[in-house]
Amino acid sequence: APDPATDIQLALVRHTARGADGPRGSLFVNPGGPGASGVDFVKASVDYAVSRDLQDAYDVIGWDPRGVGASTAVDCVDDAQLDSFLYGETEAPPGTPAHDEELVQASKSFAESCAARSGPLLQFIDTQSTVHDLDMLRALVGDERLNYLGYSYGTSIGAQYAQDFAGHVGRMVLDGATDPSASSFDVVLAQTTGFRTSFESYMAACLAGQGCPFRGSVDEGEKTVATLLGRLDQSPLRASDGRELDGQVMRSAIDSALYSEQQWPALTTAFTEALRGESGTTFALADSYFGRKPDGTYSGNFYEALVAIQCIDYPVERDPAVLVREAAEIRAAAGELADDDTSRDGEPDPLCGNWPYPARDAPAPVSAEGAAPVVVVGTTGDPATPYSWAEALAGQLSSGVLLTYEGEGHIAYDERDPCIVSAVDGYLLGGDPPAAGTTCG
């Protein structure tokens, strides 16, 4: 029998191939996060995950990586505690010593609670370990080679798999690529730049359209938002359920909306409401970002797993001089929307800096010598996985092939652009990767 102290159970689901010819094997899919459930992805969103043609040809398999969802899962806090951590952990306004103290204490107690409720599992949910699980699952379903479609952080799993098991790589597509060589600072800096660029695209579209609450230039619109964020930090809006809408929650809502151009109208509504003291749409956007359902429960353990996996994958910078320099770079990249609270600039990340276990891995480039072609898809306007990362990953992989989508939003294949779909499906179904440098959109 499995021993809960030392054994990990993995949940997976198979969407059986629908074609008359029977399956040509399995296609593993992962939606990213880290912390997102591959089981839910296939159960609830298989048409979003893969095209109908792929569903006909392959058994589509979703799994919850170790630490996530229905597998042996990280557990840190209950839903009410997560609410208070994400929405109103601090009473004092940012920039005050009292605020910094509250932030550190809340982060420490979150980390301690993760250790107490998750046990030794926390040490072993790094991406490297997940990759070894994936190779075991590949063997269990009877495939000699892994066919794989990974999104966002799912590209980290795919790239590391190719590095560790190059000879087992079948047809692999990585969409919304991460750069395996990027440090946690590199990641934050690139995402800050990416979200700022996307926000400027959003603001330009808002100003050119109907019902925009802003006036003037993109720059003036950004200044209005910056003023709003500052006001919310000083005096948050209260939701009917008692949660606080401060600048941080508004930032989460903005980031959430920038993942997809289809959410831009909702962001305009959120701003319109917030400028007159209402919070409904802002909370709806922030809630979708954190996996919070309208009834106040959270789907799966997305946020807890996200934090726990990142804290074990990335070493923590603790040199105050380096941290001050990095904070200044991030602030410069954020422009008008920068958080102007400099009081913690020399301090390590409050969560990972207080984590019970040190990182097991460190970022490093991958080459995957001898692997079959790996198609890397990048979107030029992607805020969360900037296009430069797709270029970097395709360049690092000895068999990398870059496929470019010129457009907005995070990841390309789900937008069902016919050019992208034919390139991706053409490889996964026919075995011929797109020509290097193919551009769609």
Q: Name the residues annotated as catalytic.
A: 152, 382, 410
How far apart CA 173 and CA 65 sit, in angstroms, is 18
Largest CA distance in the chain: 67
Cβ count within 10 A of residue 172: 29
- In sequence order, the β-bridge partners of residue 381 are 408
CA–chain centroid gap for 154, Å, is: 9
Phi-psi region of 48 (alpha: psi -120 to 50; beta: other; left: phi over 0): alpha
Give me the amino acid identity at 147: N
Of the candidates 300, 387, 295, the residue with the CA atom closest to the CA atom of residue 35 = 300
Of the candidates 146, 1, 12, the residue with the CA atom closest to the CA atom of residue 66 = 12
Query: What burial letters (b/e) apply to 319-337, b meaning 16+ CB within 10 Å?
Result: eeeebeebbeebbebbbbb
* Omega prior to 34 cis, within 30 of 0: yes
CA–chain centroid gap for 204, Å, is: 25
SS3 378: strand
DSSP 77: -
Of the candidates 220, 236, 234, the residue with the CA atom closest to the CA atom of residue 274 = 236
Structure tokens at 372: 């079959």
Of the candidates 30, 26, 44, 53, the residue with the CA atom closest to the CA atom of residue 418 = 53
